[in-house]
Chains A and B, each alone.
Chain A
């Protein structure tokens, strides 16, 4: 890695803490961002000669704060900027700089920075775009690429979202315990959204969208470092790690979906799975279960199975049962039905999902699962109807292609029988 590449990584890594502190000082996102930008430029100029500071975030906050104050002064009184030397020669100051910075605030600073992106008025896609821009520091171009939209459209989306959060008046005082826990919940949900935006990509776009998954994992690890004792944040991080570990096995060379049962498990990323399993173990000790932990535990049971037939479906059924109680939703029941079909057979699963028909009448996966169950029961005509509906509702070409595969199989299976019947 070159010096500049290393510096850029260090700047990215320090960004949430530095920008979060600058936001607390200036109480204005634009000013904080400008100050951070200025500090980064100075870092790129001075670090190669002087070497990186011991604490990059502290350096950036110190320099950013000064340059931000100067920016405000300059605008108000047109004072000249201080000499470059005043900032460049920070080597002596650096040692005690970290002490002078208000370190006790940094958790809430980063949480606040993340939380302002979760404004309930913002649609999910704007929350994600804003978080990637502000917290992660991705460029508009990178975000636009991941969302498969033009740069201009993304620029507009982010500007609009920023204007909205600027009016939101998020308090800058240190939050109380209840408020902090509410913020944590919103931020966790937002990180989960970022991950899903990348995870739900189809085969042809999975690679372009993978950075969204990686970024979500980075943010989840960051949040967990700040709140080490929160079992749900352990669960969330574990869930993302284990799901992402399967990335290389999820699509074939043509971009078609490969279902869990058919995936080449040697392609799963073992270190990510191991980290996820370690985190679930830690979370379980707390005996304070929650939806992320349960979902992570389900993902872990899949990850632990070396072969599909080793999967502990009974346990997965039980976990989905727990999830149904914590977070009742027809989608959870639908997922449970897949486990039920493995444990108690397709008829039991079908009985379970029939009552969901009205609520999931526009849901691709409902018809995909229903079709598969009907097919297993040999009710091929009904299966075909369900698959046709699924194709009509498919969100990606890969989803549609996958269902078409089932239809082709039904076609093949039904032809010989058709002949026997003398048609």
Chain B
């Protein structure tokens, strides 16, 4: 099954990292993903800009409202996501655990199976 793995974190902590600390974490995260990538099971992966850059469009009574900031004011914000193919939930949990071990900034990983998935046409 195809899964989305959504990474949540305390933004204050992650944005306090120095460039070196950030680079070190990213290097380790890439290491964790490499086997999946080699097996052809890893889909798009993304890291989001800080939630201060977020804009939310919310349904209003007449016209939709455009609001500054992320959808919900929470301590933990969405930091980034992975998409990958796994045979069992057990395997996804193991993958998320290994991401969590090497990312001291992450606090939670939400695992959600895809219902529909279009890889789209974007090239980076």
Q: A: which residues have CB within 8 A of B?
A: 1, 6, 9-10, 12-14, 54-56, 98, 214, 218, 221-222, 224-225, 228-229, 234, 237, 274-275, 278-279, 282, 285
Q: Which B36-58 residues have C-beta < 8 A from chain A?
A: 49-53, 55
By beta carbon, the residue of chain B nearest A220 is B52
- In the bound complex, residues from chain B placing their C-beta under 8 Å from that of A229 are 67-69
Give, as a whole number of angstroms, the nearest-CB distance from B64 to chain A.
14
Q: Which B1-48 residues have C-beta < 8 A from chain A?
A: 10-13, 15-18, 21, 24-25
B12: contacting residue among A13, A54, A278, A285, CB under 8 A: A13
Contact (Cβ within 8 A) B10 A56:
yes
Interface of chain B, helix or strand or loop or mixed? mixed
Among the interface residues A228, A234, A278, which one has the most CB atoms of the partner chain B within 10 A? A228
By beta carbon, the residue of chain A nearest B77 is A225
Among the interface residues B11, B50, B51, which one has the most CB atoms of the partner chain A within 10 A? B50
Q: What are 18 sample pairs from A and B whose C-beta atoms fall under 8 A apart?
A: A6-B104, A9-B16, A9-B104, A10-B10, A10-B13, A13-B10, A13-B16, A55-B75, A56-B10, A218-B16, A221-B50, A225-B11, A228-B52, A228-B69, A229-B68, A274-B49, A279-B53, A285-B66
Assess whether B98 is interfacial by the CB under 8 Å rule: no
Contact (Cβ within 8 A) A1 B104:
yes
Contact (Cβ within 8 A) B15 A221:
yes
- In the bound complex, residues from chain B placing their C-beta under 8 Å from that of A13 are 10, 12-13, 15-16
B52: contacting residue among A9, A214, A221, CB under 8 A: A221
Contact (Cβ within 8 A) A275 B50:
yes
- In the bound complex, residues from chain B placing their C-beta under 8 Å from that of A282 are 53, 55, 68
Give, as a whole number of angstroms, the nearest-CB distance from A277 to chain B.
10
Contact (Cβ within 8 A) A237 B68:
no
Q: Looking at chain B, what size class is its interface with the partner chain?
A: 20 to 34
Among the interface residues B12, B21, B104, which one has the most CB atoms of the partner chain A within 10 A? B12
Given contacts A14-B12, A234-B68, A282-B68, 17 further A-B contacts (CB under 8 A): A1-B21, A1-B24, A1-B25, A9-B21, A13-B12, A13-B13, A56-B10, A214-B18, A221-B50, A225-B11, A225-B52, A228-B69, A229-B68, A234-B52, A237-B52, A275-B53, A282-B53
Q: How far is the CA of A314 from the CA of B53 in the complex (A)?
A: 28
By beta carbon, the residue of chain A nearest B69 is A228
Among the interface residues B21, B67, B75, which one has the most CB atoms of the partner chain A within 10 A? B75
- In the bound complex, residues from chain B placing their C-beta under 8 Å from that of A6 are 104
- In the bound complex, residues from chain A placing their C-beta under 8 Å from that of B52 are 221, 224-225, 228, 234, 237, 279
Smallest CB-CB A-B distances: 3 pairs: A228-B69, A13-B12, A278-B53
Give, as a whole number of angstroms, the nearest-CB distance from A397 to chain B.
27
Q: How far is the CA of A284 from the CA of B64 in the complex (A)?
A: 19
Mark B72-83 against chain A: 1 for CB-CB distance below 8 A, else 0. 000100000000
Give, as a whole number of angstroms, the nearest-CB distance from A88 to chain B.
22
Given known contacts A9-B13, A279-B53, is B107 in contact with A54 (CB within 8 Å)? yes
Give, as a whole number of angstroms, the nearest-CB distance from B106 to chain A.
11
By beta carbon, the residue of chain A nearest B28 is A1
